[in-house]
Amino acid sequence: MIGVSYSIGAVLVFVTAALLILVGAVGVLAVRNPVHAAMSLIMTLFGVAVAFVAQSADFLAAVQVIVYAGAIVVLFLFVIMFLGVDRREGVRVEPLVGQRALAGLGVGLTVAGLIVLLARSHWVSGAMSVSTNGAPLATGSGNVAQLGTAVFTTYLYAFEATAALLVIAVVGAIVLARRERALDEEAA
Amino acid sequence: MPSIDYLAILPALVLLGASVLTLMLSALLRHSLSARVATSLSVLAGLVVLATSVAQWVDVARHGASSTIDHAVVLDGFSVVATGVIGVSLVMASLIAHDWLVRGPVSASHFYTLSLAASAGALVMVQANDLVVIFLGLEILSIGLYVLAALDRHRSASAEAALKYFLLGGFASAIFIYGAALVYGATGTTNLSAIGYFLAGNVLLAPGLLVAGGALLLVGFAFKVAAVPFHLWSPDVYEGAPTPVTGFMASVVKVGAFAALLRVLVSALSSQLTTWRPIIWVLVALSTLVGASMALVQRNVKRMLAYSSINHAGFILLGVWAGTVRGSAGALFYLMTYAPVVLASFGVLALVGGARDDSHDIDRFRGLARRQPVLGAALAVLLLSQLGVPLTTGFYAKYGVLLAAVDAGGGPIALIALIGAAIAAYFYLRWVLALYAEEPIETDRVSVGRASGLAIALGVVATLLFGLWPGPLAALAQHATLLFHP
Amino acid sequence: MIGVDPVYSHGLGLAVWLIILIRLVVAFAVLLNAVILMIWFERKAISDMQSRIGPQRWGPFGLLQTIADGIKLIFKEDLMPAEADRLVFRLAPFLALIPGFITFAIVPVGGTLTIAGHPVRLQVADPPMGILLMLAMSGISVYGVMLAGWASGSKYPLISSVRASAQMISYEAALGLSIVMIVLVTGSLSTHDIVASQAHGIWNWNVIRLGVVPFVIFLIAITAELNRPPFDVVEAESELVGGFHTEYSSFRFAIFYLAEFMNTITMSAIIVTLFFGGPAGWVPNVAHLRWVFPILWFLAKTTAFAFAYIWFRAALPRFRYDQVMDLGWKRLIPLSLGWLLVVAGFLISVSWGFGMAALALFAWTLLTRAFELGSGRERGAEAVLPVIGPRPLAPEALRELTDEDEEA
Amino acid sequence: MHSSLWLSLLLILPLLGAALAGLVRARANASYRVGVAVASLETVLALVVAVLYRSNVPGAGTFDFMGRWVLAAPFGLAYDVALDGISLLMVVLTALVVLVALFGARDTRREGAFVAWLLLLTSFTMGSFLAHDLLEFFIFFELTLVPAYFIVSQWGAAQRARAALKFFVFTFTGSAFLFVGLLYLGLAHQHQTGGALTFSYSALQSTAMSSSTATWLFVAFAIAFAVKSPIWPLHTWSPLAYAEAPTAGSIELSALLAKLGSYGLLRFAVGLLPLAQVHVRPVMLTLAVIGIVYGSALATTTPDLKRLVAYSSLAQMGFITLGVMTGSKIAMVGAVLLMFNHGVITAGFFLIIGFMERRRGVGVSIRDLSGWQGPAPVLAGLFTVVMMASIGLPGLSGFVSEYLILIGAFATHAWWAVVGALGVVLAALYLLWAYQRVFHGRTSEPIEDATTSERWALVPIVALIVVLGVFPRPVLDRISPSVQQVIEHVAPAGVSK
Amino acid sequence: MNVPAAWYLVLAAVLFGIGAFGLLTRRSALIMFMCLELMLNAVNLTFVSFSRTLSDVAGQVSVFFVMVVAAAEVTVGLGIVVAIFRRRRTTSVDELSEMKG
């Protein structure tokens, strides 16, 4: 790797993305207020979107912002505000002594191991998948066409399965959020 | 557009269709859908799935295994039989749920919309030949179950169980899909067959990525099937979720997850046998021993069955460990026989648990067999089957996986698993003893609904009948595995 | 996301950089000025409709009134509520402002010029995902309102925040679906391509091509996204005092004000781009000035929609909150789904189109019945979400939302 | 070769009886009558089979009545029954002991279930002895646990729950080793032949394996059988279970289920794994001898009569193991005979103890009893006969078998035999001592002598004790060829004589 | 020239680790959900990086599906939180003490 120079721009983009992602992620963990955590989450999500753009996944970057920032985090914020859990949400007493250290150790070791494995394995660059039949990955609008083709051929079944997934999620959410008066009276 | 073999995906379509139909009926009829109609619909759907799987079996037996929709779905003996098992499980789970729905706070249409769709998810997993499809099937199944677990509004434990299940289930899913991403990076595809071909044709000099990915996939599956040490959620969730839902979890989820796990390991990663075997070895040893030991100290029977099902998961993993045809057949046979038994067991629990489904202390079972000999004897048979006593299917289930394990050179691990079974014997027998205890606790007579009764009877008859004559099922499992899609 | 703008076809020379920079600055300046005009326009038009005179003191026809107001606001005292979350309170106004501007960047305001040998499109940027950018920005724009209301640490703004987020999620789907129809007929996500496909004659305008329905859906959805009347339950004065910006004053308030009008203009421009051919229109054969007419067409169309918004405000009563929700979920989303089916069907063949239409009609009938029954049942039990409209001002609902001490 | 239907009938008859007993449980005495009738029929059937049995069938050696049906090919599961001299003796013992237990040790609490469980146990025990297939044997071996568990846990004494659980889990754990071992053996056979998976006894006999493999397998098998027998040091469950079980349960446990262990050791461990003999023989002999001495020593100290019999059984099991493991034909024949004799004798012991308990209403401790001889002379006399047989008084059945074992053992493993002979002396010591305490002396209690039905129950036992002590020939004639066949299979692997 | 994909992969691994750590240690259900989202985003980043390395579109398609799943999970997860909150007015997992694991 040493001796190869990367364009300043690419490095800069990487650093920006990495900063956004990591600062945001640490923010989610460290911040006490859930609204602030949600905002940190948005930061990470944007960082990921930047990283997507840098890796010529423009379409996904846009979808990332629309789905995550535009819907998921809004939903989070909605629930936080709706339930009014925003201000008093601190870190609670740990139920098991040393759980945090243990989790940290476990996760740390796993991630370190992963990084070592990532670094030490040379993946098969150029292994062509069935889907593109060896055609190189396009950028820009060609990319959308490729994505669309893949979704409706190789991943057709998966795509149809998402329909089931969304139906069950919507029905589930409504069943859960539904409030039945008879029951509330009983609870009260 | 890729060609589509509709016969292959028919079972999943039937279940989804039934789910949507239930939903629409409940929305379009003036009066809310009666439990009787909804249950009938669900039972019918299950039976249709079973019938379809028979048709599929004929097809597979005649033309061999095939894959369709651009190799995303396979139609092979293994998937067909697993489909049939899911169909049967669904029928029994619906019957068990019926009595609970009649008296409970949950709307039947909600329950069945979700449970049918979740079963469809399990079917997707069973047939999936692509990591992404497995992931989606897993999520359909899991999301349905999260909601099902939270359905009982009378007990706050229900929603709490759902939350725990959701958080750890989501964690598992994330780990799984991360593993899938790494495997994709290592092999350049997410298709299981393609991964298999790639690994068969290429030697990876530094397979770190593949190892890491495979390990994460395994961890994800281990969470879903509640193998130790990834089992922590299961006792709480089993306890908190409504009992019929728990039965559903213990049967359908296990079938789906194990079928997918087997397919991933056998179809895609069979060349990496030496890598994943040690991991499974540890999982088997821990699951059988810890599952059995922890069950000893429980007083709540649902927690007891949760640990027991961990123990059983360990046994099924033993078949997976073998990684041979015999192993897959053993695991499949185990699933075929375990599902009805555990469902019928939870059927009894749902009845004994009372109208509010909240009395699951073992003391409630004291003297049950004295007061109601038939119900008590049925539960005793089911428990003995889970214990693995001969003349019940439980024995042959264990036999099948042990045979495979010993065949693959796993004498020590087979012995460890059997010692786990011996420990488990303690609490099954303690329970049986309580059933026949002489000084019955003053409790009301348990009323056995017709539907639950039928389901329990089915479970008992199945375990005794095939316990006496396991030949057909064993042959079926064997043939099914021989017709495995490469 | 740089895209395929022909200006880059000769590489990134100094001239190109300059052109890009100028385009940016001009766009920004034009937009700001347009906002100032828009504010004046709205006050004036409303006054006329209400038989009042409106601003008249500053400048001809009171044109400079907005600037005067702005200056006043900047010099007012900046208040920070005691309960406020300071960082977010300061951040929110800018979050509201930025998406509006970024969205404007993808609007083609005219044809293609040739400056110093470089082909220059009159559009700040033409990313290949253009229309997705617009969706993304409209998704983000809600944060300003939401966070402002929450950060104020006050009851009514908080309710406004909750309403904003719910409303936003509810209308995003219909918005996206109507855009999907446009993408279907265009075959591209780029705004340039969308405009180009509507170039030849009024029959090619999407509003006609797709049937009027998608346009209506889009218009309603975008109005709701903008929190403009009649969907301004977020800032319903009669219920929530001032809504999310109750606690804002001075410069920060000015920015909200600015953002609202900027968004209005931007969305008018987007409507024009998506449904009315953008700068397309009759161009007289005048040498050297041919490029001006598309811009004029664009301006005219945009102004027309800006006026339409003002008209809505003056003419339509505000929806109740539950009505807003009902409209979004029970009317717009099913309608746009059904229409999408029909459009897709006709793109395949006519018979498919009629088939899909029949299917959509059937589904619509079923839905109607389901909704009828559903609302009948809800009389016995409460709705899916407690209605955050006039009713929630009941004390227990408020406590549920905000009061913490009582539970603790 | 006779039809295997005879054997199947032996298996099925008790099953039908159990079902019938369960069905008629509501009517007073009905299930008792059904039970006795079925057990009598079973005994007759067993005797008929014994008469029909031929000790030389062309092509099958000493196995007669063969029949094999495959039930589940992928599992190698088959219903495979056959009978040779050794199992014939066990079959007769089973039928007889059950009859005695049902008739003599009646338990009127929920009698229908009790009789049904006993008959089920009979069927499963029969199955184990008739099995000509290792897997089938294992299945029946495991199955016997269930009825035994229920009998002990439902009708036992105060600590019955603990005793039953301990019994079950110990045996279950032990059989885990057997399970893995038999799987290994079957698979090894399959890999050698390349054919279908089978656990048929005659097929597995031809499995080739190294001496160390055989040793490991033997250890695995022996653990299971040692728990069941019980052999020291895996016997710890037995005193508790014998003591807590109801009389009929004690009889079944000690007279029948214990024999499953020694029978399995002889037939499957020794019979299938000749190569292991060299390595394991010293160990097994030592354990056997320790068991003899240890059991006898404990028997001298325990105050509880049931426990005394339990420890004495431990010693007797030591003798059987000694006989089985020496490899000498005489000792082996003696061992098989002792299995039968010990079954009869302990059945007698527990019956009489049961009668005593019936009179006392509680467990019988030697310390509390005294002077029974006066009021109950017949009971005392019967006890004396059984006791003398157990001690090994010449002219009674115990003598023949112990004598054969010791003679055979002296010839091949003199030192072990010498220590083992100590057990005979100790047996005389503790039994006579116990007799003295219980029956001699005085008592003020009015104790009823043996009733008519009690006497009838003991008639077959006393008769067998006397007849086999005087004229064991017909029995020995049936055992010898089968033992010879085992020896011949084992002998080439370096066994002397 | 673009930076090596490995940089992004390592970044994703770290992000995954942070998410996992948060999920295991934080006690607020909402924060735990957010950590779940972090983990899924790390997966997405990994997929996209591999997609570029392999010059294969499958990775990007997978991201698409992961996003759908994330959306579905959040819907249901938040539904559960709302259901619990209705009852308990808390979202801290520790306070869910009715069951002892």
Q: A181 to chain B nearest CA, in Å? A: 12
Region of poorest pLDDT, from A48-62, B199-213, C305-319, D197-211: B199-213
Closest Cα in chain D to B476: D74
- Gap between the Cα atoms of A120 and C298, Å rounded: 58
Centroid of chain to Cα B223? 13
Domain ranges of chain D: 5-493
- Residue among E1, E69, E75 whose CB faces A173 most closely: E75
Q: For residue C230, is the peptide bond before it cis, meaning its omega torsion is within 30 degrees of 0?
A: yes
The answer on pLDDT for C381 being more than 70 is no
Place of tokens 């859930």: A34
Percent of chain B with pLDDT over 90: 52
Residue type, B279: I
- Do D322 and D405 meet the contact criterion of CB atoms below 8 Å apart? yes
pLDDT tier for residue A24 given thresholds of 50, 70 and 90 = very high
Q: For residue D233, is the peptide bond before it cis, meaning its omega torsion is within 30 degrees of 0?
A: yes
Say how many residues make up chain E: 101
- Gap between the Cα atoms of D99 and B9, Å rounded: 61
Closest Cα in chain B to A148: B1
The answer on pLDDT for C405 being more than 50 is no
User: B334 to each of B329, B331, B398, C28, C207, how far by Cα in Å?
Assistant: 8, 5, 7, 70, 61
B275-294 b/e (C-beta count within 10 Å ≥ 16 → b):
ebbebbbbbbbbbbbbbbbb
Contact A84 C400 (CB under 8 A): yes
Tens-digit pLDDT profile for residues B45-68: 999 999 999 999 999 988 888 888
Q: For residue D230, is the peptide bond before it cis, meaning its omega torsion is within 30 degrees of 0?
A: yes
pLDDT tier for residue C36 given thresholds of 50, 70 and 90 = confident
pLDDT score at C85:
82
Domain tally, chain E: 1
The answer on pLDDT for E1 being more than 60 is no
Q: Nearest to residue C319, comparing CAs of C396, C400, C390?
A: C390
- Residue among B390, B415, B429 whose CB faces D149 most closely: B429
CB pairs under 8 A between A and C: 106
Q: D299 to chain B nearest CA, in Å? A: 30
The answer on pLDDT for C79 being more than 60 is yes
C-alpha torsion angle, residues D10, D13, D14, D17 (rounded to 10): -170
B20 touches chain C (CB under 8 A): no
Region of poorest pLDDT, from B83-92, C110-119, D447-456, E16-25: C110-119
With contacts defined as CB-CB under 8 Å, which chain A residues touch E53? 123, 125
Q: B316 to chain D nearest CA, in Å? A: 16
pLDDT score at C69:
82
- DSSP string covering A6-44: --HHHHHHHHHHHHHHHHHHHHHHH-SSHHHHHHHHHHH
B182-194 b/e (C-beta count within 10 Å ≥ 16 → b):
bbbbbbbbbbbbb
To 10 degrees, what angle do helices D452-470 and D329-360 make?
160
Nearest 5°: the CA angle D241, D246, D250 is 55
> What are the structure tokens assigned to D20, written together?
């019938």
The answer on pLDDT for C396 being more than 60 is no
- Gap between the Cα atoms of C195 and C205, Å rounded: 9
- Do E10 and A119 meet the contact criterion of CB atoms below 8 Å apart? yes
What average pLDDT does range B436-459 have in this prediction?
A: 82
Q: What is the largest CA-CA distance in chain D?
A: 75
- Restricting to B residues 27-66, those with a Cβ less than 8 Å away from any Cβ of C are 27-30
With contacts defined as CB-CB under 8 Å, which chain C residues touch B30? 373
pLDDT score at B405:
93
B135 touches chain E (CB under 8 A): yes
> Residue E87: which domain range?
27-91
Cβ-based burial of B66 (10 A; exposed 0-12, middle 13-18, buried ≥19): middle
For domain A1-89, which CATH number applies: 1.10.540.10, 1.20.120.1200, 3.30.420.10, 1.10.10.10?
A: 1.20.120.1200
> What are the structure tokens assigned to D33, written together?
């009558």
Domain at E57, CATH number: 1.10.287.3510
Closest Cα in chain B to E26: B167
What average pLDDT does range E2-25 have in this prediction?
A: 87
pLDDT score at E46:
93
Those residues with Cβ within 8 angstroms of residue D306's Cβ, 6 or more apart along the chain or in another chain: D242, D243, D250, D350, D353, D363, D364
B402 touches chain D (CB under 8 A): yes
pLDDT score at E62:
93
The answer on pLDDT for C389 being more than 80 is no
Tens-binned pLDDT, residue by residue, of chain D (497 aa): 678 888 888 889 998 988 888 888 888 788 888 888 898 899 999 989 888 888 777 777 788 888 888 888 888 888 988 888 888 889 999 998 888 888 877 777 888 888 888 899 999 999 999 999 999 999 999 899 889 888 888 887 778 888 888 888 888 888 899 999 999 999 999 988 888 888 988 888 888 888 888 899 999 999 999 888 888 888 888 888 888 888 888 888 888 888 888 899 888 888 888 888 888 888 888 899 899 888 888 888 888 888 888 888 888 888 899 888 888 888 888 899 888 988 888 888 888 888 888 777 766 777 777 777 778 888 888 888 888 888 888 888 888 888 888 888 888 888 888 888 888 888 888 888 888 888 877 777 777 777 888 888 888 888 888 888 888 888 888 888 888 888 888 776 554 43
Q: C172 to chain B nearest CA, in Å? A: 24
Q: Nearest to residue D124, comparing CAs of B117, B389, C81?
A: B389
Mean pLDDT for chain E overall: 82
pLDDT score at A181:
47
Cβ-based burial of B342 (10 A; exposed 0-12, middle 13-18, buried ≥19): buried
The answer on pLDDT for A2 being more than 70 is no
pLDDT score at C12:
66
* Other Cβ atoms closer than 10 A to B51: 15
Handedness of CA D435, D440, D442, D446 (dihedral sign): positive
The answer on pLDDT for C56 being more than 90 is no
Is D69 strand, coil or helix? strand
Phi-psi category of residue B319: left, alpha or beta, with phi > 0 → left and psi -120 to 50 → alpha:
alpha
pLDDT tier for residue A120 given thresholds of 50, 70 and 90 = low
- Gap between the Cα atoms of B196 and B269, Å rounded: 6
The verdict on ipTM greater than 0.95 is no
Q: B409 to chain C nearest CA, in Å? A: 57
Q: Do chains E and D touch (3 or more CB pairs under 8 A)?
A: no
Handedness of CA B301, B306, B311, B312 (dihedral sign): positive
- Residue among B418, B430, B474 whose CB faces D180 most closely: B418
Contact C369 B24 (CB under 8 A): no
Using only C-alpha atoms, chain E has a radius of gyration, in whole angstroms, of 17
Tens-digit pLDDT profile for residues C111-157: 777 776 777 777 777 777 888 888 888 888 888 888 888 888 777 88
Contact A179 C1 (CB under 8 A): no
- Do B130 and A131 meet the contact criterion of CB atoms below 8 Å apart? no
The answer on pLDDT for B429 being more than 70 is yes
Contact C165 A59 (CB under 8 A): no
- Partner residues linked to D61 by β-bridges: D57
- Gap between the Cα atoms of C218 and C228, Å rounded: 14
pLDDT score at E17:
92
